[in-house]
Amino acid sequence: MKVLFISLGSYGDVLPMVSIGKEFIKEGHEAILMTNGNFQDLALDHGFSFLQLGSKQEYIYTIESVNVHKPLSLASKLIEFLVLSPIDEMIEHMSGIPLDDLLIVSYPGNIGIKVYAEKYNIPFVSTVFAPILFHSISQPARLSPFKITEKLPKPLLSILYFSIHKIIDIMLCPKINKVRSNFDLGPIKKVYPWILSKDLTLGLFPEEFSLFPSDWPKQIQLTGFPLACIDNKPPNIELDHFVASNNNIILFTQGTPNAKVLDFFTQVSLICRDLQICAIFVSQFEEQLASLENENTFICRSVDFSKILPKLTGVVHHGGIGTTAQSLKAGIPQIIVPWGVDQFDNAKHLVRLGVGLEVFQGNNFQNRLKFALQNLLSNPNLKTKALEYSNKVSLFQGAKKSYDTLIGFVKKHNQS
């Protein structure tokens, strides 16, 4: 069987697909990864065939041109980068792939391939990395620091979701229907139910994290976190020495797509000095942070979270679902400093589980983060809870469970 995995975005969007794809490769199937050129080496190093969507330079330009702290600008860029720009290139790639014995596994906003799969009756499964994309009235997602959805009465919440869906329909239905007409398919009227594959949608997180509200779409199956494991990443000897030589180390990161990090790390550096904390600063834009390096601060572009986090006292991060999962598996307390997308909602779930604290950026941020770090260092309950969830093996078997679920789905599809 051939499995085409399609993902666009940052490492947090691509690595889960790699983890699931490796399960197929291990069982002798052919795995193809269609994503941005920035991830070509990652794909080839792990045994995937590779199909490029845009260049590495375009990926870097997109990240550097977005201010993640401006929600409207961020949303506009995401729609352009993830939904609209890749349509023609994706369809062109499909013309070179034999359709027999093919399964497509993709992020939900993939218009071009979704239409193509419908036209040629190719089994298509949507993957959703975090609970926020599944709208619920009984358990509303947190969309911002202001917790508006959690405070609204249910009738007003229904109106809010209706309005959001209507705006999306106005924005995207004409584009989707234009692509559909090119394939002699009829128009759709509502985007949200269409983007989720109707037969099977994988939620790549455990029920314990999301609670699986009863009003989520019925085709959803939760598989757990597909932890990313990059087997061929060389060891960072200097980092290993830093970790072995110090105590009470906190790792700080604001995610791979965040290019505006200097102000955050500057404030963190002052807090670490005051609290006498040793720190690891992780950023794809480490060159911005050169002036902050000292004997108690190690700065690097990336780390293998699966190996480093279990050796640390805690982690302060943006709340991306990949870092969230790795931190849960490491069994260390977390402080979430979200800036957008799914992160506010992920922070809510971590606080509910009792493994983390949340600190929103804004006025008096430095003092509030300092207080949260003092709490992390002195509150044994956070560590106890973190270790409790770390020991729940089933939460972290998302790659294998996704493989088993997808194999069962293909068998059922072939019999129908």
**CB contact at 8 A, 136 and 116:** no
**CB contact at 8 A, 109 and 191:** no
**CB contact at 8 A, 36 and 53:** yes
**CB contact at 8 A, 344 and 319:** yes
Place of tokens 């990336």: 302
Dihedral (Cα; 215, 351, 340, 81), 10-degree rounding: -60
Strand pairing partners for 5? 33, 105
Tell me if 2-224+397-415 shares its fold with 237-393. Answer: yes
**CB contact at 8 A, 368 and 390:** no
**CB contact at 8 A, 327 and 357:** no
Q: In the chain, where are the structural domains located?
A: 2-224+397-415, 237-393
pLDDT digits (tens, 9 = 90+) for 162-212: 999 999 999 999 999 999 999 999 999 999 999 999 999 999 999 999 999
**CB contact at 8 A, 207 and 222:** yes
Give Cα separations from 211 to 73, 143, 205, 207, 224 (angstroms). 31, 17, 10, 5, 12
Fold of 2-224+397-415: Rossmann fold (3.40.50)
Two tokens at 299? Answer: 């700065």
pLDDT: which is higher, 45 or 72? 45
Computed over every residue of the chain, the mean pLDDT equals: 91
Cβ-based neighbour number of residue 92 at 10 Å: 11
For 237-393, the fitting CATH number among 3.40.50.720, 3.30.565.10, 3.40.640.10, 3.40.50.2000 is 3.40.50.2000
pLDDT digits (tens, 9 = 90+) for 376-394: 999 999 999 999 999 999 9
Cβ-based neighbour number of residue 384 at 10 Å: 13
Helix-, strand-, coil-residue percentages of the chain, each rounded to 5 = 50, 15, 35
Residue 108 sits at φ, ψ, to 5 deg, of: -65, -30
SS3 sequence, 112-169?
HHHHHHHHCCCCEEEEECCHHHCCCCCCCCCCCCCCHHHHCCHHHHHHHHHHHHHHHH
At residue 17, does pLDDT exceed 90? Answer: yes
pLDDT digits (tens, 9 = 90+) for 93-106: 998 899 999 999 99
Global pTM reads 0.92
What per-residue confidence (pLDDT) applies to 257? Answer: 77
Q: Comparing 69-83, 144-158, 302-316, which segment has the lowest mean pLDDT?
A: 69-83
